[in-house]
Amino acid sequence: MFRIDLLQNQWLWASLAIGLVLVLATALAYLAWWRSPKPSRVPWILGLTYIALVIFTVAYTLWKSVRPPNW
């Protein structure tokens, strides 16, 4: 029983940690955007965040299409 609870909470903590990292990256990107000397230049953290989100979206969609949930 402990093993099942541990695995369930593991995904909960992992999703919370990833969400916190994405929120902090977005906040830092917002600050870097307004502090940059040239407003037309995109900060590296903003580009990195968007690239990571696109890669995650494509990978998650492909993963779920191969292994659909068994509801």
pLDDT value at position 43? 73
pLDDT value at position 69? 76
Q: What is the CA radius of gyration of the chain?
A: 17
pLDDT value at position 11? 77
pLDDT tens digits in sequence order for the chain, 71 residues long: 556 666 667 777 788 889 899 888 888 888 877 776 666 677 787 788 888 988 998 999 898 888 887 76
> Which residues, in sequence order, are CB contacts of 29 under 8 Å at separation 6+?
43, 45, 46, 49
The reported pTM is 0.43
